[in-house]
């Protein structure tokens, strides 16, 4: 380990961003973690102060700061509510990278990020293999969410009701050369994302169906990798950069106007983090990253703003429509300002949208936060589950597969008979009824 | 440093997860929202019950350990910056609304209740808790009481002190004190409640607060008046008050602030305007209509270029969103923001506005001025970068001159932010030495070991 002075110098890279925090404390009013613990080190103001402390070489080792920095959902609620416009998520991600590079990754993370995630082919094969054997350690819940739980008490899974791996991941149903369909209007390339591919392939199929119904030309390159956010959240900027390289090279071969994803987290990562956190980009690379970022869009936003949709005629009276509530993924609303479009899609799909209290409050997933802090993650998720149930809905919709996992777990644990559906699934289902 | 045995005793009182001693955590309790040097405490405790608070104070009294109480740490005067050999007592877990009594219109709360949470609960019952400090989304009632927090509605509805009917608190020895009552009138004993409000944790540590509630106003009307000179705007403020009209809110934004807000939020404000007045009257519908007409006529008479009335709730919200954006918009311009709150008798608002413009010019610094013109409480907001030592020196000189000017007009150093550490050295200018001596004697009698938030207000 290098000395702390060197680390202080590395953190100095963030100084101009750190000094913009005026310590007003407004982040406390929206932080889902602070709501649970009411500890200053759990909220953005405290973490920014800790990074400033690190920069001023106040500590003898970085572990205490590192540990506190990782107690964060990276939901961006603080940034969206910050009077000074502090770019909190970018600061935290860069700080995690600096600390991880300084300390070195744990062996487990090294294995996962360097040997698996960073090699999309290897990762796909591993997950396929795991999918075949998951029945040995997990049993289906037979509930509305379609979750599973552990057969035996397992320290790894605790009492989670997790979404099983799909027996038929989306990439396996793709033709070898991928998909290229002609259409009228803007041409859309689709970035699938790991969770949709491996756990919710139905979302990808639904998206394709919706786009083809609207006569949108689609490109789906085969061999897509992860967007890189799991590596980045753990500070592994090398694996992240390698994944960006892989995906960029893949999509470069195709001609398209818009890159759409049905995963809020992937969209936000490609748009915001690819251009800002890629390690040492050449000027040419920076240009490519910025250009792709500008072309990237959430699929609901694309459908509503660029394609244009009309309500599907279901012939149902208002009272007969299915009651659906919508959860705003942090990576859509707070990161990208997309909130109205998914709601329009849900209404167009012939559902009655019933707003829940705090629809834009974080569900508590936060990627690896859920793995390392399951108790806190569940406490936050339980608030969401109560708000969903209070609407009297039969389905909850959200535009992010990670939120779908967390909400499924929470509803499953509560024994609620509420289904979890992506807006694209609702819309595709309505289309199916239209054309039997 | 605190002895290990005392830390163990503290841990025994609150339970292991609720005593923090690691340096990292201490750093996060070393500051508040004031632009001052941080000080790290020796420990932080997070009690949940009255008994725990009493035990903590008794233990600290016995061992002469300073205690600084902290709610959300949003105050702007350094009131929650701790003592290096002391502890921070966090009120985050003491956050229960104990009672909202609709028949007698009062609420009883624990000090850690967030102001906005209480306001929302009260509103659900058709009642109203008016004090609305800018940080109310995070600030706590305990902090509001300790700092005597104000807000936008001070002009008509007063500030926190006007709503505190009674208190339950611990003195410096850990004795439990009751003062005030749940009745509208209460004439027993000293008015200790009044003494405690604004005492910044130097006389006792709160356990319960009894707050007065009032009926929610039935109607309200918001307006925006646009001016070509800031003198006309500030003279309108004085004019409205002397016409015996008391709006709920009467706010001013100067050109510097207007431009910052418009660049930040694209709300459609006229960037060429020298000043805006944002006005709201409320009360009985007939009175609201009449007063709105009077205010409009007055604004035009005093030279307003235009005056627009909000036609619905959406337009009203837009007006107040522009006002709420003021601090945010200014905060984005430079790394350091010093928010002052020197206050003058409201008839002197025109003179104060002129003086602030002169001071900005004299010290070559950026000052955006906005604030509660109707109650004389302006917020000259200085934009700077604390790392620039030469400029920050000029900022400090400018602040001192703002204080002098406010006092020369019969005003005060602080309308609503409190004395804390930031204004303690200047207090003598306002109140004179004998007032400070009186306060010190009072404090010495009530807290002989000087363990309650040392260094604040009286400078000792």
ipTM: 0.93
Strands B67-70 and B87-90: parallel
The answer on pLDDT for B283 being more than 70 is: yes
Could you give the 3-state DSSP secondary structure of residue A215? coil
pLDDT score at B202: 98
Q: Over the stretch A377-430, which tens digit does the pLDDT of each residue have?
A: 999 999 999 999 999 999 999 999 999 999 999 999 999 999 999 999 999 999
Angle, helices B230-242 vs B285-301, to 10°: value is 140
The answer on pLDDT for A436 being more than 60 is: no
CA atoms within 13 A on the CB side of B459: 11
Sign of CA dihedral A417, A418, A420, A425: positive
> What are the C-alpha distances in Å from A109 to residues A63, A400, B240, B283?
17, 24, 67, 62
Q: Over the stretch B394-435, which tens digit does the pLDDT of each residue have?
A: 999 999 999 999 999 999 999 999 999 999 999 999 999 999
Put simply, the answer to whether B328 touches A83 (Cβ < 8 Å) is: yes
pLDDT score at B322: 86
Overall average pLDDT of the B254-271 stretch: 90
Q: Residue B114: list chain A partners with CB under 8 A.
A: 29
Q: Residue A28: list chain B partners with CB under 8 A.
A: 72, 138
Q: Residue A50: list chain B partners with CB under 8 A.
A: 24, 27-28
Nearest in space to A160 (alpha carbons), one of A419, A434, A407: A407
Interface of A with B (CB under 8 A): 19-20, 22-26, 28-29, 38-41, 45-46, 49-50, 53, 58-59, 64-65, 68, 83-85
- What is the model's pTM? 0.93
Overall average pLDDT of the B19-45 stretch: 97
Indicate the pLDDT class of residue A342, thresholds 50, 70 and 90: very high
Q: Residue A15: list chain B partners with CB under 8 A.
A: none
Q: Over the stretch B294-338, which tens digit does the pLDDT of each residue have?
A: 999 999 999 999 999 999 999 998 888 888 888 888 988 998 999
pLDDT score at A98: 94
Nearest CA in chain B to A65: B24
Q: Over the stretch A129-187, which tens digit does the pLDDT of each residue have?
A: 777 777 777 777 778 888 887 766 565 667 788 888 888 899 999 998 888 999 888 99
Q: Residue A85: list chain B partners with CB under 8 A.
A: 328, 331-332
Overall average pLDDT of the B84-112 stretch: 97
pLDDT score at A155: 59
Q: Residue B33: list chain A partners with CB under 8 A.
A: 22-25
The answer on pLDDT for B59 being more than 70 is: yes
**Percent of chain B beyond pLDDT 90?**
92
Pairwise CA distance, residues B421 & B429, whole Å? 15
The answer on pLDDT for A435 being more than 70 is: no
pLDDT score at A152: 64
- Nearest Cβ partner for B335 among A20, A24, A28: A20
Average pLDDT of chain B, as a whole number = 95
Put simply, the answer to whether A49 touches B28 (Cβ < 8 Å) is: yes
Distance from CA of A63 to the nearest CA of B (A): 10
Residue A352, both tokens: 């009655």
CA geometry: angle B67, B69, B71, nearest 5 deg: 160
Number of residues assigned to chain B: 460
Which of A14, A15, A21, A25 should one mutate to test binding to chain B, selecting the residue with the greatest count of B CBs within 10 A? A25
Interface of B with A (CB under 8 A): 20, 22-25, 27-33, 38, 46, 72-74, 90, 92-93, 95, 112, 114, 116, 135, 137-138, 327-328, 331-332, 335-337, 385-387
Nearest CA in chain B to A86: B332
H or E, element range at B89:
strand B87-90
CA geometry: angle B300, B348, B161, nearest 5 deg: 105
More confident residue, A134 or B281: B281
pLDDT score at A289: 97
Angle, helices A4-11 vs A88-103, to 10°: value is 150
First to last CA, chain A: 65
Nearest in space to B296 (alpha carbons), one of B243, B259, B371, B350: B243
The answer on pLDDT for A243 being more than 90 is: yes
The answer on pLDDT for B184 being more than 60 is: yes
Residue with tokens 């990161």: A335
Distance from CA of B340 to the nearest CA of A (A): 14
Overall average pLDDT of the A44-65 stretch: 95
Which of A15, A39, A99 should one mutate to test binding to chain B, selecting the residue with the greatest count of B CBs within 10 A? A39
Angle, helices A201-213 vs A423-434, to 10°: value is 50
Q: Over the stretch A66-86, which tens digit does the pLDDT of each residue have?
A: 999 999 999 999 999 898 889
Q: Residue B22: list chain A partners with CB under 8 A.
A: 64
Q: Over the stretch B224-242, which tens digit does the pLDDT of each residue have?
A: 999 999 999 999 999 999 9
Nearest CA in chain B to A47: B28
Put simply, the answer to whether B135 touches A59 (Cβ < 8 Å) is: no
Indicate the pLDDT class of residue A356, thresholds 50, 70 and 90: very high
Put simply, the answer to whether B72 touches A64 (Cβ < 8 Å) is: no
């Amino acid at each position: 380990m290098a000395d702390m002075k060197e680390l202080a110098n590395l953190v100095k890279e963030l100084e101009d961003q750190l000094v913009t925090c005026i310590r007003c404390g407004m982040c406390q009013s929206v932080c889902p973690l602070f709501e649970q613990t009411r500890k200053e080190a759990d909220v953005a103001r405290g973490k920014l102060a800790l990074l400033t402390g690190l920069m001023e070489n106040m500590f003898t080792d970085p572990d205490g700061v590192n540990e506190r920095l990782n107690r964060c959902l990276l939901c961006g609620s603080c940034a969206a509510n910050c009077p000074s416009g502090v770019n909190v998520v970018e600061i935290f991600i860069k700080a995690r990278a600096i600390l991880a590079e300084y300390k070195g990754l744990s062996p487990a993370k090294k294995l996962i990020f360097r040997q698996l995630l960073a090699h999309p082919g290897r990762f796909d094969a591993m997950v396929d293999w795991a999918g075949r054997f998951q029945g040995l350690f997990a049993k289906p819940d037979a509930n509305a969410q379609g979750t599973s739980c552990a057969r035996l008490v397992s320290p790894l899974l605790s009492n989670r009701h997790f979404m099983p791996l799909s027996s038929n991941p989306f990439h396996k149903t793709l033709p070898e050369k991928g998909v290229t369909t002609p259409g009228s209007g803007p041409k859309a390339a689709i970035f699938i994302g790991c969770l949709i591919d491996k756990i919710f392939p139905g979302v990808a199929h639904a998206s394709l169906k919706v786009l083809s119904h609207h006569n949108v030309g689609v490109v789906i390159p085969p061999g897509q990798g992860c967007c890189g956010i799991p590596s980045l959240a753990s500070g592994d900027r090398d694996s992240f950069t390698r994944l960006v390289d892989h995906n960029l090279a893949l999509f470069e071969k195709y001609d398209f106007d818009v890159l759409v994803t049905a995963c809020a987290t992937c969209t936000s990562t490609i748009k915001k983090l690819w251009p800002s956190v890629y390690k040492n980009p050449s000027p040419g690379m920076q240009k490519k990253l910025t250009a792709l970022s500008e072309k990237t869009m959430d699929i609901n936003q694309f459908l509503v703003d660029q394609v244009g949709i009309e309500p599907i005629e279901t012939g149902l009276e208002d009272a007969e429509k299915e009651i659906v509530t919508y959860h705003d993924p942090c990576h859509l609303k707070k990161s990208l300002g997309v909130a109205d479009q998914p709601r329009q899609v849900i209404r167009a799909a012939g559902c009655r949208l019933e707003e829940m209290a705090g629809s834009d409050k974080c569900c508590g997933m936060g990627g690896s936060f859920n793995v390392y802090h399951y108790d806190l993650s569940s406490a936050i998720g339980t608030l969401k589950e109560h708000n969903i149930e209070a609407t009297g809905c039969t389905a909850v919709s959200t535009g992010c597969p990670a939120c779908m996992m967390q909400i499924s777990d929470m509803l499953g644990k509560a024994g609620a008979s509420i289904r979890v559906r992506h807006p694209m699934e609702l819309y595709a289902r309505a289309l199916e009824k239209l054309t039997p | 440093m605190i002895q290990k045995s005392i830390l163990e005793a503290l841990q025994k009182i609150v339970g292991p997860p609720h005593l923090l001693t690691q340096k990292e955590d201490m750093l996060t309790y070393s500051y508040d929202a004031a632009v001052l040097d941080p000080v790290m405490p020796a420990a932080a405790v997070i009690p949940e019950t009255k008994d725990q608070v009493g035990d903590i104070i008794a233990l600290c009294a016995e061992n002469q350990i300073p205690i600084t109480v902290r709610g959300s740490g949003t105050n702007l005067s350094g009131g929650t910056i701790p003592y290096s050999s002391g502890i921070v007592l966090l009120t985050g877990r003491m956050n229960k609304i104990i009672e909202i009594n609709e028949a007698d219109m009062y609420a009883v709360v624990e000090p850690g209740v967030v102001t906005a949470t209480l306001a929302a609960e009260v509103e659900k019952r058709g009642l109203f808790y008016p004090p609305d400090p800018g940080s109310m989304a995070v600030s706590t009632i305990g902090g509001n009481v300790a700092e005597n927090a104000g807000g936008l509605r001070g002009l008509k509805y007063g500030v926190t002190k006007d709503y505190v009917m009674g208190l339950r608190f611990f003195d410096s020895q850990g004795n439990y004190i009751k003062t005030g009552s749940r009745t509208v009138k209460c004439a027993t004993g000293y008015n200790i409640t009044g003494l405690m409000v604004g005492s910044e944790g130097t006389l006792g540590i709160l356990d319960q607060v009894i707050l007065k509630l009032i009926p929610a106003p039935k109607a309200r009307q918001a307006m925006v008046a646009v001016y070509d000179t800031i003198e006309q705007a500030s003279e309108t403020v004085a004019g409205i008050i002397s016409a015996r009209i008391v709006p709920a809110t009467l706010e001013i934004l100067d050109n510097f602030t207007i431009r910052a807000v418009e660049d930040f939020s694209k709300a459609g404000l006229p960037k060429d305007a020298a000043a805006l007045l944002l006005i709201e009257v409320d009360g009985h519908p007939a009175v609201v209509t009449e007063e709105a007409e009077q205010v409009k006529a007055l604004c035009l008479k005093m030279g307003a270029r235009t005056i627009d009335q909000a036609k619905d709730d959406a337009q009203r919200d837009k007006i107040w969103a522009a006002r709420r954006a003021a601090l945010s918009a200014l905060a984005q311009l430079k790394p350091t923001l010093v928010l002052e709150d020197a206050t003058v008798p409201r008839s002197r608002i025109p003179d104060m506005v002129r003086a602030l413009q002169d001071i900005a010019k004299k010290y070559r610094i950026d000052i955006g001025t906005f604030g509660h013109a109707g109650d004389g409480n302006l917020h000259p907001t200085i934009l700077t970068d604390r790392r620039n030592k030469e400029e920050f020196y000029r900022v400090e000189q400018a602040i001192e001159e703002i204080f002098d000017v406010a006092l020369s007009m019969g005003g005060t150093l602080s309308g609503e932010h409190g004395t804390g550490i930031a204004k303690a050295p200047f207090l003598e200018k306002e109140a004179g030495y004998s007032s400070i001596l009186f306060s010190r004697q009072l404090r010495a009698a009530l807290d002989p070991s000087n363990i309650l938030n040392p260094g604040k207000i009286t400078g000792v």
